């Protein structure tokens, strides 16, 4: 997984990098260590708060979450579960069988 950190009106510290990378490791488990995943964390300082955005790109899908909080540390704690929920929901959709497939019956049921 490639992690990109961007900021506007805020200097990203080493502590924030470590925490963001640690929390984004949870998402690697979901993607089964696929190297085609890119996670972009953007932090923007506004007047009294920080707006943090996470965009995870996987194949042709973009999973996006945004939060505005007093510190970027609190905001990243909020957006990671949001993105995990979006990914989980999409994986459930991928796992369902498609409509129009043939039904499979046991031989005993056909004889009745």
Would the pLDDT of 104 be above 70?
no
Q: What is the CATH number of domain 2-93?
A: 3.30.160.100
Does residue 14 surpass a pLDDT of 80?
A: yes
Residue 105: the pLDDT is 61
| HEC letters along the chain | CEEEEEEECCCCCHHHHHHHHHHHHHHHHHCCCCCCEEEEEEEEECCCCEEEEEEEEECCEEEEEEEEECCHHHHHHHHHHHHHHHHHHHHHHHHCCCCCCCCCCCHHHHHC
pTM confidence score = 0.78
pLDDT exceeds cutoff 60 at 110: no
Which tens digit of pLDDT belongs to each residue from 27-76? 888 877 667 899 999 999 998 999 999 999 988 889 999 999 999 999 99
Across residues 82-111, what is the average pLDDT? 71
Instruction: Please state the domain extents for the chain.
Output: 2-93
Specify the pLDDT at position 69.
Answer: 92
């Amino acid at each position: 997984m490639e992690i990109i950190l961007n900021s506007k009106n805020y200097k990203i510290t080493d502590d924030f990098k470590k925490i963001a990378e640690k929390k984004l490791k949870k998402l690697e488990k979901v993607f089964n260590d696929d190297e085609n995943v890119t996670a972009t964390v953007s932090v923007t300082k506004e007047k009294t708060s920080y707006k943090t955005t996470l965009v995870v790109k996987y194949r042709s899908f973009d999973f996006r979450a945004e939060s505005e909080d007093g510190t970027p540390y609190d905001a990243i704690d909020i957006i990671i579960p949001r993105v995990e929920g979006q990914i989980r929901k999409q994986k459930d959709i991928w796992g369902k069988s498609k409509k129009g497939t043939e039904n499979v019956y046991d031989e005993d049921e056909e004889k009745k």
